[in-house]
Structure 1
Amino acid sequence: MTSPLTALALPAAGTPSIADMLRTGREYYRRGEIKPAIAVFQAGLALAATTSIGVVVDGVADLHAALANAFMLCDDIGSAAENYKAALRIAPHLVACWCNLGIVHQRTGMIQDAISLYLEALRRNPGHRPSRTNLVQALTATRQFAIARTLLLELIEETPDDADLRSQLGKVCFELGETGEAVAQFEQAVALAPGQAENFYWVGAIRQARGEQEEAEAAYAHAAQVHPILRRQATQSPPAFRALALFAPFVGNTPVEYLFRDCAYQTSILSLLSGCRPDIALLAREADIVVNLVSDADQGTEVLPLALAIARGLGKPVVNDPEKIRSTTRDATALALADVEGCRVPRTVRIAAGEGLPDGFELAFPLLARQAGMHGGDVFEKLEDAAALVSFLAAHADHDRYMIDYIDYRSADGFFRKYRFLFVGEEILPYHLAIGDDWKLHRDATEMGAHAWMQAEEEHFLRAPEQVFSPRHTAALRVIRDRIGLDYFGIDCGLDPDGRLVVFEVNASMLVHDQNPEFPYKDPYIRRIKVAFDGMLARIARGI
């Protein structure tokens, strides 16, 4: 087998020059022969080390840049970064190197540093398109949506038929609350690139969020007809394994936008719509594991049997078995956990739609009441007397409702604290702490961004949960994990004045995301959850 170095086209004197090596290495690179290209580039740098530096400055910078590009294709990010930096020390005018070094930082989670590098590239060449498009992605990742929109509008003005830019603008507009414009951008993206399935589903999702039920149903039906399965490719080829996710529009699903991002495995998402009759044999041939995302037992009453039938029919390992999800209504969970030692699980009674207070039910006020299937504090009230309860039940008589015993979990300093853990296989991982002065705590509605002491307390909980929750609490959490029996789910809980674990909510619908620019200390702990999730899927897919 011929070595890359012996294949060099030699000049008359018989000694390859740095220019020869750069040219030959680039030829290997263009043919996709990356390892031989790396060998040639490295040999060129070794030759340059023996040559007068004043003669080969430009060539050395180009060799470092080319070598960095090759390392990027091999996912050797560290070596790529070293060579981009080396190239820029010699030739800071290499705009592409500033941009590519920004990509390296972005891929390693150092997004603010990436933004600085993209801006440096644009300072040197304001029209450099790769730096502008990558800057948009970094700004979006750090939730700087207004700036991202401005830059996207400039790019689209230059190339109005770019479907990817339209899609990105749609996402940014959605985040800014401009849902009408978001739909318009996604519909243009659909028209420009009908092969891109994700845009079809975004139209349905946004129309659903706008309360346009009929339009949303039509959009989802059209999406499912054109693209029955939404596929996301793995970050490696071949993929480590293939996951088929079962998703149900219009009902609660496990949020996986973050969990399914940048995966070594391929994800295929099947939408379970009315009349869905998938080809089970076809699906079975392209899936190693089934991930059931239908997570809300109240909202998913009608669709969970379909998810169960598909999961069973595929004959593959199943994550979050739909049958187990059906047992996670608030009243069923309260009953299942009622006798867990060291826990306080509020009594929870379900009242069917159209019905009133059950006869003989002993009321103790204050009492909590909420509509079944609601999350995030919606249609959820603390009631002080029977009249208020009767009024609440009547106002929401078209739906099932829950009555829940109120437990005062206020801490000694007068603040309420709600902790969230994620159960990922055998692991119990902290996700966040919400601190506020009202019993109804929702993390995004707190004032934690304005109080350093609250952030410090949350960081301490994330770093050392065992210093907040005792071994007795941890034992209770393990019992809860075993009784719920799901592979992936969350718990919102607190600690009462006597130190007992107060269970608020246990289900697979809890949000995990990495959009926390105000709270960067959370990032490593959130990444830990994703690593655990990916590892769990890999073990189940391989039958370990």
Structure 2
Amino acid sequence: MTAPAPAARAADTEQASPAGANWLRIGDEHYSAGRNDDAIAAYQCGLAAIAAAPAGSVPVETISELHSRLGNACMVRGDVEAAAVNYRAALRLVPELTSCWCNLGNIHVQTGRPQEAIAFYLQALKLNPAHWASRTNLVQALMATKQFVIAKALLQELAGERPQDSAIQHQLGKACFELDEVPSAIECFERALALNPRDADSLYWIGGIRQNLGEIEAAQKAYAQAAQIQPLIRRPAIKSPADFRVLALYAPFGGNTPTEYLFKHANYETDTLALFEQNSYDAEVFKQGVHVVVNLISDVDQAVAMLPLAADLAARLGKPIINDPRKIQRTTRDEVAERLAGIPDCRIPKILRQQAGTELSVEQLQAAFPLASSILARPVGTHGGDDFEKLDHVAELAAYLAQPAETDRYFIEYADYRSPDGYFRKYRFIFVDDQVLPYHLAIGNDWKVHHVNTDMANQKWMQNEEAAFLNDPGLVFNAAHFQALRAIQQRIGLEYFGIDCGLDTSGDLLVFEVNASMLVHDDNKQFPYKDPAVRRIKSAFDAMLAKFAGIGAA
């Protein structure tokens, strides 16, 4: 979000009380020189002096301006509550202050209320339709609330007025991408680059899009160019100064922990460093000002070549680290199954990994899973329902095994987890430091259950059951189950990761998947009851980072 929009100086300041006018001038001098705390003190002194003056002796414009300037200074400090109080005080006196309406919108965006922010931006634009800050910040709020069609239309209008503004082209590219207009998105990012050849963000976007399209060579080129221009992608804190700084290690071509929500609206600053196998990294340069390192490279099957590089850099950085790459290296599906074996009241299905280029017979597979009624099969490095099959009969096994193993693939013992009512239930917990927090429940009528592919959006009883689980997991999981979850947390040894699990027909905890790649997001318009659980995870994540950074409670 942009800095506070400046308020216009009152036309009749010279008519103000000497104390009020002087303190306003002194505060402005401090603010312009970057002495923000001194500016706040001066503006407060001015308001105190005016409060002591005879009623009506000071023009309301002067009082309003002091409140407005104090609001700006509070925003810089990161005290958004005080900023909002002063902006509202200014508007009660002079409702025509466009900048104050705009800044109230900024506060709502920064504090996670973009939908409410839109009304403030619209009020600002009602007063001044040409107010650039209100228009560009309105785009941010529209994007945050997924109103991409309106955001795109406004961006096209802005681009027509300022065709040389690369930032507008960049935002337009993001809007087009969200609308699945991929060619147009690439064109916008390329225009942004033509206007600003050092626009690393657009290059990163181009790299990501090309990667999704399978254009690996073009993606690698874009990522490499971006890293040369800007090796660190900075996400600023919502306050200044930030409480601490995080360095996040990321692999563009490997599976990573999703952090779009986790790093959002934080009191800490985040620098994300994209790692490339062919590059070298000077730890002395990248550790400057860093308090804690977070390794995001989470899928060992997708990032097997990158994890040793990340582990070496993390060791040389010498900072506290979340999810050490050396620990991630021990989280393949088959190794996790071995490490979790033997936990009481917990069922870990057997897993066999077939190496690429090798052959495996039906008889060998049946011997590996002598009690399995069915066998699940999937290529390594895949998640969700991608290329995930259930093989129930010998003929199906034979047909699958007849396909050449071009990549490694997993074979997993199937365990029945159908509930007595005929539905399948898959639960997700997120482990954060020493906490085990519920994230969601997916209920479906097929063994392959994923929240987005269920009918939960249309079934109130399913939503009620999920809400009950999120509010009190003890309604489903007993003390023995929680002891098993704690044992899993201890054996895996990561600070942040997730588990997808269920209850088998014997009532034991059934483990489907354990890794640090699981998504946590706040896009829950259809399921607003999920918000408290999601916020608890975010709060625990922030507190964990603060603890590792040596700061205390976030």
- After TM superposition, the score normalised by the length of structure 2 is 0.88
1:368 to 362, 366, 376: 376
Partner of residue 314, structure 2: 311
Q: CA deviation at 1:505?
A: 0.4
**1 CA distance for matches of 2:48 and 2:319?**
52
Partner of residue 9, structure 2: none
Kept in 2, the 8 Å contact 1:48–1:56? The answer is no
Q: CA deviation at 1:252?
A: 0.9
1:458 to 460, 463, 466: 466
Correspondence 1:186-201 to 2 at 5 A: 186-201=189-204
In the alignment, structure 1 segments of 5+ residues that lack a partner are 1-10
- Does the alignment pair 1:472 with 2:476? no
Partner of residue 546, structure 2: 538
- Does the alignment pair 1:418 with 2:426? yes
The alignment partner of 1:294 has SS state of: coil
Partner of residue 261, structure 1: 264
Q: CA deviation at 1:238?
A: 5.4
Kept in 2, the 8 Å contact 1:246–1:269? The answer is yes
Partner of residue 131, structure 2: 128
**2 CA distance for matches of 1:226 and 1:18?**
48
1:408 to 384, 394, 416: 416
Residues 1:26 and 1:309: Cα distance change in structure 2 (over 3 Å): closer
Kept in 1, the 8 Å contact 2:108–2:116? The answer is yes
Partner of residue 7, structure 1: none
Kept in 1, the 8 Å contact 2:65–2:90? The answer is yes
2:337 maps to a residue whose letter is: A
The alignment partner of 1:173 has SS state of: helix
The alignment partner of 1:503 has SS state of: strand
Partner of residue 356, structure 1: 360
Q: CA deviation at 1:69?
A: 2.1
1:83 to 81, 86, 95: 86
The alignment partner of 1:431 has SS state of: strand
Partner of residue 142, structure 1: 145
1:388 maps to a residue whose letter is: E
Kept in 2, the 8 Å contact 1:122–1:128? The answer is yes
Kept in 1, the 8 Å contact 2:248–2:293? The answer is yes
Q: CA deviation at 1:256?
A: 2.0
Q: CA deviation at 1:239?
A: 4.7
Correspondence 1:189-268 to 2 at 5 A: 189-235=192-238, 239-268=242-271
**Which stretch of structure 1 is more off in the superposition, 322-331 or 442-451?**
442-451
Residues 1:477 and 1:16: Cα distance change in structure 2 (over 3 Å): same
Partner of residue 97, structure 1: 100
2:390 maps to a residue whose letter is: K
- Does the alignment pair 1:382 with 2:390? yes
2:136 maps to a residue whose letter is: T
**1 CA distance for matches of 2:14 and 2:170?**
54
The alignment partner of 2:437 has SS state of: strand
The alignment partner of 1:397 has SS state of: coil
- Which string of whole-angstrom CA distances, capped at 9 and with x for unpartnered residues, describes residues 217-259 of structure 1? 2222222333334344445555544433322222211122222
Q: CA deviation at 1:184?
A: 2.0
1:329 maps to a residue whose letter is: T
**2 CA distance for matches of 1:384 and 1:13?**
88
1:124 maps to a residue whose letter is: L
Partner of residue 445, structure 1: 453
- Does the alignment pair 1:57 with 2:60? yes
Partner of residue 71, structure 1: 74
**2 CA distance for matches of 1:12 and 1:296?**
65
**1 CA distance for matches of 2:514 and 2:299?**
11
Partner of residue 392, structure 1: 400
Q: CA deviation at 1:137?
A: 1.1
Q: CA deviation at 1:180?
A: 1.9
2:529 to 521, 526, 535: 521
- Does the alignment pair 1:322 with 2:325? yes
Q: CA deviation at 1:285?
A: 4.7
**2 CA distance for matches of 1:458 and 1:325?**
30
2:496 to 479, 482, 488: 488
Kept in 1, the 8 Å contact 2:15–2:59? The answer is no
Kept in 1, the 8 Å contact 2:235–2:271? The answer is yes
Residues 1:365 and 1:252: Cα distance change in structure 2 (over 3 Å): same
Kept in 1, the 8 Å contact 2:356–2:408? The answer is yes
**2 CA distance for matches of 1:121 and 1:14?**
26
Q: CA deviation at 1:497?
A: 4.1
- Which string of whole-angstrom CA distances, capped at 9 and with x for unpartnered residues, describes residues 8-40 of structure 1? xxx999962645554444344333333443344
**2 CA distance for matches of 1:12 and 1:512?**
55
**2 CA distance for matches of 1:286 and 1:109?**
27
In the alignment, structure 2 segments of 5+ residues that lack a partner are 1-12
Q: CA deviation at 1:396?
A: 5.7
Kept in 2, the 8 Å contact 1:142–1:517? The answer is no
- After TM superposition, the score normalised by the length of structure 1 is 0.89
2:475 maps to a residue whose letter is: Q
Kept in 2, the 8 Å contact 1:143–1:517? The answer is no
**Which stretch of structure 1 is more off in the superposition, 440-449 or 141-150?**
440-449
Q: CA deviation at 1:434?
A: 1.8
Identity of aligned residues (%): 53
The alignment partner of 2:59 has SS state of: helix
Kept in 2, the 8 Å contact 1:65–1:87? The answer is yes
- Which string of whole-angstrom CA distances, capped at 9 and with x for unpartnered residues, describes residues 184-211 of structure 1? 2222223333444332222111100111
